[in-house]
Amino acid sequence: MTLCYCGSGKESRWENDARGIPLCRVCDKCRKEKLGRYRPEVLSDPDYETEEPVEED
């Protein structure tokens, strides 16, 4: 079990973008705040545009 870095004392988990790329560790308390830093399409559209190269598996 890994505790969340937000200080809540709750268990954390990795949250991925729509392509399955890990973004950050979240818990139920901080999930909305941490994911709010990302554009909505990054979380929902696997074909989102990016300026950085994304390697295919």
Give the pLDDT band (50/70/90) at residue 6.
very high
How many CB atoms are closer than 10 A to CB 19?
A: 14
Strands (E), the chain: 13-16, 22-26
Structural domain for 19, as ranges: 13-44
For 15-46, what is each residue's pLDDT tens digit? 999 999 999 999 999 999 999 999 999 999 99
User: How confident is the model at residue 57, as a pLDDT?
Assistant: 60
Q: What are the distances in angstroms from CA 41 to CA 8, 12, 30, 35?
A: 28, 23, 20, 11
d(CA 28, CA 35): 11
Model-level pTM?
A: 0.80
Q: Is residue 49 part of a domain?
A: no
Of 26, 23, 20, 22, give the one whose Cα is nearest residue 2: 26
Q: Is residue 23 part of a domain?
A: yes
